[in-house]
Homo-oligomer: A and B are copies of this chain.
Amino acid sequence: MNNKIKILRDNLKIQDLEGMIITNNSNISYITGMKAEGTLLITDKENIFITDARYIEEANNTITIDDEIIVMDSADISESDYLSFFANCNKVGIEENDITYSKYQNFIRIFRLKDAVETGNIIEKQRMIKDDEEISNVRKACEITDECFKHLLSFIKIGMTEKKIALEIEKFFMENGADGLAFETIVASGENSSKPHAMVTDRTIKNGDAIVIDFGAKYKGYSSDMTRTIFVGKIEDEIKELYNFILACQKRASNKIKDGANGIEITEGLEKEFNARDYSLIHALGHGVGIDIHEIPILSYRKNYILKENMIVTNEPGIYIPGKLGIRIEDTILVNKLKSEELTKSNKNLIII
């Protein structure tokens, strides 16, 4: 059987569950290796992927006999089939953070579930620790991102729009082996840079601009995530100083990221440095990266996660001055026992083009 299902089945047993209904697309993709809409059932006897005609051919090509996953077209499943799937299961897990309220009610009815139990992100927790193949895919996504950044440094010119730069990133990814973008690229210049989640616009790059470039590639379904803030032409000393301050904070946080470290402590450490200069950290310091661009663990002061070997997380402090300027520096980091490895390795010293 597919190794990921084996681990999941062990974890279900620990939670005293006899089956599970998986609705989260990223979790389905994690387990089956394919991107398709559908529902994956882990029953006491079988693993069944219910999808529709649009995906049947792809599913039959991707899922192998060793996976031990039966692929079914939802159009061919009768009412009594649905009743049979969990007939011998008392407790069946659901993904309460993914399933909609209406789907939940429908599943209770069609599967006639005796006890639908919240699983508390059981698969997301499994996904926190990456295996060798996953790490190698994220590593490759980060390499392509680094190459792209090098390319951008000679590509970006005054007068160019943010959109043109964003498009060049996608083109570079596609032409250099990536599946595509890991997420919608942010290219935020000048006053736009103060919005942490800015959309790309037709604003043209001007002398004196800061440009926040937050981008990542997808490689075999796995993501990279990197931000660099670069400057154009003449910039004030005060801004250079602010940049170097953020960079020093980011590096100190990176050095703390390793097996056994505590996410809240790392975040609070950085926040103290920001607060000492009357800035505040207005978003989380970092997040897990993998199939999704935002996964657990989260590095923030809200919820505690202890970092473990083979997690992959970002470290992305930023300071934003509304209407004026934003600076963010972000790397994707592989957590190791002793010294962690920044998988994104692009130059992060102050760059002025």
Contact = CB atoms under 8 A, between A and B. Distances in A.
- Most chain B CB within a 10 A radius of its CB, from A98, A166, A197, A322: A197
A51 B340 CA distance: 34
B101 A197 contact: no
Contacts of A55: 197
A62 to B, nearest CB: 11
Contacts of A99: 100-101
A157 interface: no
A180 B170 CA distance: 12
A54 B197 contact: yes
Contacts of A171: 167, 171
Contacts of A35: 199
A278 to B, nearest CB: 16
Given A167-B174, A199-B35, A53 B282 contact: yes
Interface string A162-197: 011011001100110001100010000000001111
Nearest to A164: B174
A104 interface: yes
A92 B89 CA distance: 35
A80 interface: no
Interface in A73-125: 94, 96-105, 118
Given A164-B174, A170-B167, A54 B101 contact: no
Contacts of A66: none
A16 interface: no
A283 interface: yes
Given A54-B283, A283-B53, A322-B57, A118 B102 contact: yes
Nearest to A34: B199
A94 B175 CA distance: 45
13 contacts: A53-B283, A54-B195, A54-B197, A54-B282, A55-B197, A57-B323, A58-B197, A96-B105, A100-B100, A101-B101, A164-B174, A167-B170, A167-B171
Contacts of A180: 184
Nearest to A116: B101
Contacts of A58: 195, 197-198
- Most chain B CB within a 10 A radius of its CB, from A98, A102, A166: A102
- Most chain B CB within a 10 A radius of its CB, from A35, A194, A195: A195
Contacts of A163: 174
B100 A98 contact: yes
Nearest to A99: B101
Contacts of A197: 36, 54-55, 58
A166 B98 CA distance: 31
